[in-house]
Structure 1
């Protein structure tokens, strides 16, 4: 089990990794060694995530989410498999941590009496400016 937050732990078996060839730096190794990592995590099928966190994670994932509800993260920043693997996992865990934060509900507020008065005064000023323009003949 991998601890993501104080309340969320993900089973290692839920993460599916595959290694593909990466572009970019690598010298002669670049065409021979598969160093890029594709990390897949099935959000819909995960038993580790609470339902509300899973829904927020799918919203956060955006284009990284497939139609089947699987988050796909590709990491190819580094030259070694191990560092790309750590990078991909850390990016997934950051997304899960962000999804674990409950948004604070909006509290309805009413405008204050002073703000209502300011609004009415501004409307009156604007009205007077426009009414003063009415009487002028065009040149």
Structure 2
């Protein structure tokens, strides 16, 4: 079940931010930082997607259902915008991924034999520990 989610660009609020920080920062980089806000509840996402996103534990999702993503790894605002939107889409797709339950596998005969062999080996070395052998 592969969900391809279409996000309405008009639902994404992008703000250019100048981060306040210590001096000596790369001014170009700082001035191109982008702050993305996406309201889950007000979005046109399917209801199941909204519910899953609201339940997901992620530091970018606030209690009131806003996704806040900050991007400032690139020099231009345009690149940071794209990076923020890409992260938003990844977050939404991640919440829709359904984990398949793992099938219990029986240990193979080979792996069982290896385990017993190493167990026996451990037992032998343990029993030799503490004994002083005569070297005459």
TM norm structure 2: 0.63
Could you say what the CA RMSD is over the residues aligned between the two structures, in angstroms? 3.6
C-alpha separation in 2, matches of 1:130 and 1:6 = 55
13 and 79 in structure 1: CA distance in 2 versus 1, 3 angstrom threshold: closer
> 1:109 aligned to 105, 122, 125, which one?
105
129 and 19 in structure 1: CA distance in 2 versus 1, 3 angstrom threshold: closer
How many matched pairs?
126
C-alpha separation in 2, matches of 1:101 and 1:114 = 35
For the pair 1:120 / 2:88, whether they are aligned, the reply is no
Gaps in structure 1 of 5+ consecutive residues: none
Structure with the largest fraction of strand: 1
C-alpha separation in 1, matches of 2:132 and 2:112 = 32
Structure with the largest fraction of helix: 1
Matches within 5 A, 1:36-115: 36-49=33-46, 51=48, 55=52, 59=56, 62-76=58-72, 77-80=74-77, 82-115=78-111
Gaps in structure 2 of 5+ consecutive residues: 21-25
Instruction: Report the counterpart of residue 131 of structure 1 in structure 2.
Output: 127
Work out whether residues 58 and 65 of structure 1, in 8 Å CA contact, stay in contact via their aligned partners in 2.
no
Greater RCO, 1 or 2 (C-alpha within 8 Å, sep 6+):
2
TM norm structure 1: 0.62
Deviation string, structure 1 residues 36-93 (Cα, Å, up to 9, x no partner) = 321111235544145268636864x73222222321112333344x443333223322
